[in-house]
Structure 1
Amino acid sequence: MRIRVLWPAGQATATLATTPTSEALWAVLPVSSSANTWGEEVYFDTPVSVPREHDARQVVEPGTVAFWTDGDSLALPYGPTPISRDGECRLAGPCNVLGVLDGDAQVLRTVRPGDPIRVERA
């Protein structure tokens, strides 16, 4: 499964693994939301509500496509957050890992809080 994330200043594509959460997201695409930022992470609400998967992680690599079950949100980290240690990507809590962005995750630096953001099938 491949998705495209679009915002006013750019876009990114990602490849998703086959997981219960990625399948739930895929089923409701396209999704439009409003972007939030937290350190070097972009996150936004979705209409998906799923339980935490057994392999959920809080520390991930830049460019990971994650789903924050506590907030029903996609989380796209590209660098440290306010709770990171030693430059890691530490999310607000354990998140389901869906996949990875294609290319350089630093493209997410152009997302501004409040930007309209859309996720669609690529």
Structure 2
Amino acid sequence: MQTPLRIRISWPAGHLTATLDDTPTAQSLTQALPLVSTARTWGEEVYFDIGVSVSRETGARQVVEPGTVAFWTDGPTPISQGAECRLASPCNVLGRIDGDPGLLSTVRGGDPVRVELVDA
């Protein structure tokens, strides 16, 4: 059985980890790590460029649960309705935040964000 891939996402006010699914997009992301980017926010959503270009996967979704780690192939423009997390177009789901995704509320637009693999 393969060990799940985990990443650490860090910003000035905190950090969290996420467990990635075994998908082509997640594999492309892990090959680009470690990386540093600049955070952007839209409501309660946090997004940033990772410098990776991939195609939309068959299982791409437009509505996701809070705490979902996703990759927008078309670029981020969230259009949530009510309490849902709705993206402007389907995204490739990479995995889930480990623990409380509410920690992301401390990310501010313009914060540096570092993404790296967690040592197994």
- Opposite residue 95 of structure 1, the aligned amino acid is C
Gaps of 5+ in 1: 74-80
Does residue 34 (structure 1) correspond to residue 38 (structure 2)? The answer is: yes
1:45 is aligned to 49
Percent of matched pairs sharing the same residue: 66
| RMSD of Structure 2 on Structure 1 (CA) | 1.1
* Structure 1 position 107 matched with structure 2 position 103: yes
Q: Which has the larger radius of gyration?
A: 2
Q: Could you tell me how far 1:92 is from its partner in structure 2?
A: 2.7
Q: Which runs of 5+ in 2 are unaligned?
A: none
Q: Which residue of 2 aligns with 1:59?
A: 63
State the distance in 2 between where 1:100 and 1:115 align: 21
Query: After the TM superposition, which parts of structure 1 deviate over 4 Å for at least 4 consecutive aligned residues?
Result: none
Q: Scaled by the length of structure 2, what TM-score is found? A: 0.90
Cα distance in 2 for residues equivalent to 1:64 and 1:21: 14
TM-score by length of 1: 0.89
- Counting only pairs closer than 5 Å after superposition, residues 1-122 of structure 1 correspond to structure 2 as 1-71=5-75, 83-122=79-118
Summarize deviations over 1:66-121 as a string: whole Å, max 9, x none: 001123x7xxxxxxx5x222210112321000000000000000000000001000
Q: How many residues align?
A: 113
